[in-house]
A and B are shown apart, each in its own frame.
Chain A
Amino acid sequence: MTYRFEPHHTWEYRARPRYRTDEEVAASRARDPVAIQGARVPEAVRSRIDEQIEDLLDRARLFAESSPEPGPAGALDHLYAGGLRGRGGTA
């Protein structure tokens, strides 16, 4: 079974509603598969993987922030693999 530790969306981050006990969260932390599997990887390897992922995320953020604002004409780009274009909202 999977378990969510962090809030689902921005409102939940702000409001922090309590809908489960600390004990329930702690019990799931104790069997967190990411932590358990991670502990099986040698520390040096794990640090390198973590660094690679942090770097990838940093570059993705920089790419987004330094890219021009997308234009409305491309709002439906990539909707279909073959480039099918449906009709617009007016005629």
Chain B
Amino acid sequence: MPILSYGRALNRALSAEMERDPAVCVFGEDIGIAVSNVTTGLLKRFGPERVIDMPISEQAFTSFATGAAIAGSRPVVEFQIPALLFLVFEQIANQAHKFSLMTGGQVKVPVTYLLPSSGSRVGWAGQHSDRPYSLLAHVGVKTVVPATPSDAYGLLVNAIREDDPVVLFGPAGAVARREDVDFGALAPVPLGVGRVHRPGTDVTVVAVGHLVYDALAVADELAGTVSVEVFDPRTLYPFDWTGLAASLERTGRLVVIDDSNRTCGIGGEILATAAEEMRLIAPPKRVTRPDGAVLPFARELGLALQPARSQLRTAIETVAKAQ
């Protein structure tokens, strides 16, 4: 079967939706020359009326997208790094997210914010390596973190079709991934539905984004001793609590691996909800970045602050044994 890369999957989803719906347009910095590779070919194919390069003024063009969406467009806004979300938090969390309620449902704001490379790439240091998906989930903005190329395709298609704002994080650790797929079988993936990548009976591991690959590798390592189920929520808000509860009915034991800072990260929300509402026969654990982590430039220091396979393995073994 043909090989589909993660970046190419986002590109295919964007072009397919632009082809299907003339209201879909793309705003961002350097999207004409496709610095992030996600918009490759779109300017030539759809023209400068629908693929619009923006000045280095994120707050202005994020608001521009809100207005365009209210007026009937369906903008996709690309940010090259997730730290730009801090800059436009007002525009997303306090404006775009609230207009539907504040107008009694008269106004919809169907904007997709696309982060094609979130989290750490080696040496990108303090101001380029954050992964603020938990913040968006916290305020209630629909938030998706696809791990695989076909999920990236399917979730971006549905993010664009959503009538609400949606943020899609493409993890830097996943964008180099490739997958054998039948292009004809690529399909929209519903928001809010998780995916079991590997069934198991002893411990459920919830892995967010690129950490799905680490969870699968650790599950392989432990295959002789612990049967690990790898659950990929795919969407962080709304979260697939039903899917998680079904997994915990089978295993009763939970480990979360989440590349958020620990305090108020989505991993904490998953543990809390499981503890309140689901079947747990042992105390759960999470593997995260430390509290308030700021990734240093030096490679070893940056790696030391990100969730590691060895930490996940230890957490699984501990939870598997706990009474």
Which B105-156 residues sit within 8 Å CB-CB of chain A? none
Which B301-323 residues sit within 8 Å CB-CB of chain A? 301-307, 311, 314-315
| B33–A19 CB distance below 8 A | yes
Q: How many residues of chain B have a CB within 8 Å of chain A?
A: 28
Complex interface bits, A49-90 against B, C-beta within 8 A gives 1, otherwise 0: 000000000000000000001111011100100000011111
| A89–B287 CB distance below 8 A | yes
Known: A89-B289, A89-B307. Is A70-B262 also a contact (CB below 8 A)? Answer: no
Please tell me which one of the listed residues B288, B293, B301 contacts residue A72 in the complex, with CB atoms under 8 A apart: B301
Nearest CB of B to A63, in Å: 14
| B305–A76 CB distance below 8 A | yes
Whether B163 is near chain A, meaning CB under 8 Å from some CB there, is no
| A87–B262 CB distance below 8 A | yes
Q: How many residues of chain A have a CB within 8 Å of chain B?
A: 17
State A75–B300 Cα separation when bound (angstroms): 9
Complex interface bits, A10-52 against B, C-beta within 8 A gives 1, otherwise 0: 0100000101000000000000000000000000000000000
What residues of chain A lie closer than 8 Å to B67, measured between beta carbons? none
Which B39-97 residues sit within 8 Å CB-CB of chain A? none
Nearest CB of A to B159, in Å: 26
What residues of chain A lie closer than 8 Å to B296, measured between beta carbons? 70, 75
| A89–B288 CB distance below 8 A | yes
Whether B291 is near chain A, meaning CB under 8 Å from some CB there, is yes
Q: Select from chain A the residue with minimum beta-carbon distance to B294.
A: A79
What residues of chain A lie closer than 8 Å to B305, measured between beta carbons? 75-76, 89
How many pairs, one residue from A and one from B, have CB atoms within 8 Å of each other in the complex? 61
| A70–B298 CB distance below 8 A | yes
State A89–B296 Cα separation when bound (angstroms): 16
| A17–B33 CB distance below 8 A | yes
Whether A91 is near chain B, meaning CB under 8 Å from some CB there, is yes
State A87–B262 Cα separation when bound (angstroms): 8
Given contacts A70-B300, A72-B304, 14 further A-B pairs with CB under 8 A are A11-B35, A17-B33, A72-B301, A72-B303, A74-B301, A76-B293, A86-B263, A86-B290, A86-B291, A87-B291, A89-B287, A89-B290, A89-B306, A90-B288
Q: Using CB atoms and an 8 Å cutoff, list the residues of chain B in contact with chain A.
A: 30, 33, 35, 262-263, 285-294, 296, 298, 300-307, 311, 314-315
Q: Using CB atoms and an 8 Å cutoff, list the residues of chain A in contact with chain B.
A: 11, 17, 19, 69-72, 74-76, 79, 86-91
Provide 24 A-B residue pairs closer than 8 Å at the C-beta atoms, listed in order of the A residue.
Answer: A11-B35, A17-B33, A17-B35, A70-B300, A72-B304, A75-B296, A75-B304, A76-B290, A76-B292, A79-B292, A79-B294, A86-B262, A86-B263, A86-B292, A87-B262, A87-B290, A87-B291, A88-B291, A89-B262, A89-B287, A89-B288, A90-B288, A90-B311, A91-B286
